Amino acid sequence: MLLAEQPGPLREVSTFRRHVAGAEANVAVGLCRLGLAAGFISRIGDDELGAAIRFRLRGEGVDTSQVIVDPEAPTGLVFRERREVGPVDVVYYRRGSAASRLTPDDLDEQYLRGAKFLVLSGITPALSESCKQAVFAAAEIARAAGVSVVVDPNIRLKLWSADEARSVIRDLITRADLVLAGKEEAELLTQECDPALAAAELARLGPRQVVIKLGARGALAHGASGTIEAATTPLVRVIDPVGAGDAFAAGFLAGQLRGMDTASSLALANRCGAYAMTLPADQECLPFWNDVADQPASSTDVRR
């Protein structure tokens, strides 16, 4: 990812800073920073940008043994503008990229069976038909092995139409155990503007639990025992909102893996999402466990 150094529209920006980004990779890094183990499945180009991704993820502790180096396609690229208020514009250069050439044949079934969660993003099936097939194949392998399938819709309408996104992601959700969706995503998928009703509608597709991110209102979770809400973590200032959803996902999964109940997992996820908005970029902003562990509040900082 090339992130603009000046705020405003990309056409006015002259300098950029290089980062590594991407929804699934962000969640993997987030989990590792929270003290857990995660691996990443994808393709990268046999180029310097691909090397940067591999080195970055390995340095964060992510298992990259399932990342295939493709000598025949380049590493995907994205330009992102910098804004503190309003929607952030993104320009993708992903068509024909190495990642878009992912296929079901690239999946190691034994590797997938060894996981506790398989995290799938709605971005990947938008990249190509072979990517879509790989995502659905991975979900079926995981389900057959008793691995919990997690779906984050991550709807990107620059990659496909709303109708196509709705159809494919709803189909993918029928194979999920857990859904982590934003409020607007849940509305697009269900045509229901009330988050609680949208969560219930998504749950009828099959997942045991549906979590809806509500922004400044926090989050809610809908499951067999009903619906619970968790308040947001207040922020004095938002530096960069992009990546907060991935931090939230990592936080919720970390809570579940650490044996927390749903309410505590939601609270941890909210803290992770809020922390991520206090720093720029996608991965550098992700918190470590000590940053978000539930510790008594103190009005003074005695660590200096």
Give the pLDDT confidence of 176-203 residue by residue, as tens digits. 999 999 999 999 999 999 999 999 999 9
What pLDDT is recorded for position 67? 98
Active-site residue list: 246
- Summarised one tens digit per residue, pLDDT across range 85-95 is 677 888 999 98
Task: List, in order of start, the domains of the chain with CATH numbers.
Answer: 20-292 (3.40.1190.20)
* pLDDT higher than threshold 90 for residue 242: no
Distance of alpha carbon 239 from alpha carbon 276, whole angstroms: 9
> In angstroms, rounded to a whole number, what is the distance separating the alpha carbons of residues 42 and 65?
10
Are residues 246 and 282 in contact, defined by beta-carbon separation less than 8 angstroms? yes
E strand intervals along the chain: 2-7, 16-18, 42-45, 67-70, 77-82, 90-93, 117-121, 148-152, 178-182, 209-213, 219-223, 226-230
Angle 291-295-297 (CA atoms, 0-180°, nearest 5)? Answer: 100
pLDDT for residue 243:
65
Phi, psi values for residue 64, rounded to 5°: -105, 20
Specify the pLDDT at position 87.
77
Is 30 within 8 Å of 23 (Cβ atoms)?
no
pLDDT band (50, 70, 90) for residue 280: low
- In this prediction the pTM is 0.91
